[in-house]
Amino acid sequence: MTNNWIKLAVNYYFMGTSMDGTEQIQCDKPGPSSSFCRMIYTEIEEVGWEHLLRLGEDLTFLSFRFRDKKERVHVMEIMLDKTYPKCPPAVSAHLEKLQEFWSTLDVIDHDLWVIYPKQPTRATCYRQINMGDDCFLMLFISATDPRSLPECRFMGSDHKVNLLRKMWRRNCKRWIKDKPVPENLSNIFESKLPAPPSVHVSDNQTECGICYAQYLPTDVELGASSGSTTDYTCDNKVCNRAFHSICLGDWLLTLTTTRQSYNVLFGNCPYCSDPVAIKVNVKK
């Protein structure tokens, strides 16, 4: 009986086991046999179709969406060799050791007035913080040691920036790794930094749960959808996740569990699994 390497790879991450990298395998990819197809579909069924994000036409590429211990959404990509399951798959996924890095950035985003980037990704390691009085602090958080004293740059008038730099040099020894970044910054600058303003973002400014962008790219092939914002929201009030209709439709079309009636796709929300229905353009 062959090992289910796909399920094993996903379980490694769910159980918090670190995966040190991706093994690169280069080989020709012939068309899949019927037995290979049955095996892959069976293994996806064991992992859960609700986690499947993408499935390559030759079934040698799969990506799964799942949540970590902090309820952050991540994507695991799996490449299969033509000899699978004799040869283990190549897996690319976020490392467990980055949890502290992400948590540090989450605290900064929650407690300080971050003005850039507006919608940071999990790979963004810097934050531009409004310190008030037309002065700004650019922090660079280390992914390998996020609690250490960060690199920084000051922006503002020369006089104010010089004062901040002198204060930083004088008090940087006060930095304590066991304390959160906002508290350490308050100790260094001898005053509490401004909290984020209470701004209510309208529903049409929400990023898509599939492509993670607010707007679709400007492309003539997208027709009327070119450059448009999210236009579909999950009816589950707890989930309330927004999507571009075209992104959600493309994702549903990759799943064998999706049903179609004329130009309407019926499936499940990729986040809460509640029923969704989306209209798609039918090519004649």
Distance CA 251, CA 29 (A): 24
Assessment of whether the complete model's pTM goes beyond 0.75: no
Are 37 and 256 contacting, i.e. CB atoms less than 8 angstroms apart?
no
CATH of domain 203-279: 3.30.40.10
Homologous superfamily of 99-189 in CATH?
A: RWD domain-like (3.10.110.20)
Give the start-to-end residue ranges of the domains of the chain: 5-94, 99-189, 203-279
pLDDT in tens, the chain (284 residues): 445 656 655 555 444 443 344 444 344 545 678 888 888 888 888 888 888 888 888 888 888 887 776 677 777 888 888 788 888 888 876 556 788 888 899 999 989 999 888 878 778 899 999 998 889 999 999 988 999 999 999 998 889 899 999 999 999 999 999 999 999 999 999 998 998 876 434 444 478 888 888 888 877 677 777 778 888 988 877 778 899 888 999 999 999 888 888 888 999 988 888 888 888 775 54
Same fold, 5-94 and 99-189: yes
Q: 5-94: which CATH architecture? A: Roll (3.10)
